[in-house]
Amino acid sequence: MSRIFRRNEFLVAITIIGLSLIIGLNNSIFFTVGNVFTLLRASIVMGIFAMGVLIVLISGGIDVSFTAVGVFALHATTKLLIAYAPDAPIILGFFIAAIIGLGLGLINAFFIARFKLPALIVTLGTLSMIHGFLLFAIGNQIIRDVPAVMTAFARSALVTIPLVRGKAILHPAVFMTILIAIGVWLLLKYTMLGRSIYALGGAPEAAERAGFNVVRIQYFIYAFVGFLSGIAGMTFGSLARQSNPQDIVGMELNVIAAVVLGGATLTGGRGTVIGTILGVILVIIANNSLILIGVPTVWQRVVIGIIILVGTGIPAVQERRAGKRSFGMADV
């Protein structure tokens, strides 16, 4: 039982409950259906990005280019739909964006897997390259006249609840994020590929000696991150009903922070889908609801920074103590 209380997921869940009570007791709007639906909508894109980041962190790598991949896939897909298939179903848009994202992810995989270059350096380079190319090609041009299917997708509602002022709408894309999370959970828990990703993050040399094809695993990981990034980018643009090359890029630190808060480590070998979802919820609440208790927007990043330090520091201290305790027992 004591192990449960020491788990990072438990600590994050307690933090979410505590923060929610603080905000809700100071401003009852926080606990309204409308605000809950708003928070769920805000978590859609971050949640999709986070599933890709979780896999790459478990493998012991890192990817900071996923936001640039997402916005590039969004803009390219929007232009293609406008030019060649303005009346195509939205599923085609998601498919095109996912394939574009997968292709860009393979560029990262090529340099990381084949040339053994540091993942951080490679993805920093592709982040700058992809976003720079997008800005060079189109500048600050914003596509506001998006295809009708994107607008229809933004207006779709799974649940609509009338309120005194307006209505609360639960967007169906929430369940798209849930399905992706379930898929990643099944992959990590029940497949040999999932075990190989954990093994690669825990000890790369041992994983190679055990017969895992490290190059193929890395190709899959970074291609999969690109695939999800394309979907996330298309989702963001469809919900916003526009394609802006300045959007999304810059939120990668928040996404990585959410995954790390959920228990994944930058050294690899650890991380869970449940923990990542809790980390996303915590960051979304901190980003969107602190204003309800009078915390200025400029101070929200400070609060998030404190949460990250405390949330990652406590498990690290607990691990160190557990290691010393087991070392002491071994001496005995």
User: Which of 3-17, 72-86, 180-194 is the least confident region?
Assistant: 3-17
Q: Quick one: pLDDT at residue 210?
A: 87
Answer whether 229's CB lies under 8 Å from 105's CB. yes
Short-list 229, 202, 228, 227, CA closest to 214: 202
For the chain, what percent of residues have pLDDT higher than 90? 60
pLDDT digits (tens, 9 = 90+) for 113-130: 999 999 999 999 999 999
For residue 290, pLDDT beyond 70: yes
Domain that holds residue 266: 2-331
* Other Cβ atoms within 10 Å of 19 Cβ, number: 20
Which is it for the CA torsion 91, 93, 96, 102, positive or negative? negative
Q: Quick one: pLDDT at residue 1?
A: 43
Give the CATH number for residue 196.
Answer: 1.10.3470
Q: Quick one: pLDDT at residue 107?
A: 96
What's the pTM value of the predicted model, to 2 decimals?
0.92
Q: Which residues does 176 contact at the CB level (< 8 Å), separation at least 6? A: 44, 48, 231, 235
CA 17-180-76 angle, to 5 degrees, is: 115
- Burial level of 206, CB count in 10 A (0-12/13-18/19+)? exposed
Separation CA 299–CA 236 (nearest Å) = 25
Rounding to the nearest 10 degrees, give the CA dihedral for residues 74, 79, 82, 86: -40
Strands 159-162 and 167-170, bridge-based pairing:
antiparallel
Short-list 261, 251, 306, CA closest to 281: 261
pLDDT digits (tens, 9 = 90+) for 158-167: 888 887 777 8
Q: For the chain, what is the domain count? A: 1
Q: Which residues does 41 contact at the CB level (< 8 Å), separation at least 6? A: 170, 171, 173, 174, 239
Q: Quick one: pLDDT at residue 55?
A: 97
